[in-house]
Amino acid sequence: MRFAFILTTAAYAVLLGAAATRLPERVPVHLGFMEHPESWGSRAEAVALFGVAGLALALATAWVARVLPRQPLSSPWVDVPHHEWWSATPAREAEAQRRMVGDLYGVGAAAMLLLGGVLVSVMITARAGEPTLGSPLLTVLGGGVIGLIVWSLWMSLFRYRPEEGR
């Protein structure tokens, strides 16, 4: 999953470069409930906003992935299903930490894809004659929410289920 996170981060950087050259000078930066622009900003403002968001996501994911393996499962910062089973032996605890780091990178990659999808939606909206977000953004956000729910259910119900004989 770390490789997927690196790839999605690199793809996001490419999208950000495309936005810097393809966005018009005037970009909708806030859209209201009815999907029509409520405020406008410059291309530089939009690129800076998305750049800071992507950088913050990348740095936070990398930092937590580095710190997480140093935290014991008994730490209040760590929550894993079936805690007692995973913390029963050092080998299980190491495996749980390895899985959590992989899952963190997976969620980071998915979040980077979601942020990239929002950026593409803004690019499409900004270049449209009558700017409204419409279905591109709703599809991206809906897919992201559904994906996160499915991922969370899979992790809590199957990924960290105790493995008999281990």
Distance, CA of 146 to CA of 159 (rounded, Å): 18
Distance, CA of 20 to CA of 163 (rounded, Å): 49
Band the pLDDT of 62: cuts 50, 70, 90.
Answer: very high
- Predicted TM-score of the model (pTM): 0.86
Lowest-pLDDT range of 57-61, 69-73, 124-128:
124-128
Percent of the chain exceeding pLDDT 90 equals: 55
Higher per-residue pLDDT: 11 or 132: 11
DSSP H or E segment with residue 31: strand 26-31
Evaluate whether 103 touches 1 at the Cβ level (below 8 Å): yes
Across the chain, how many H-helices and E-strands are there? 5, 2
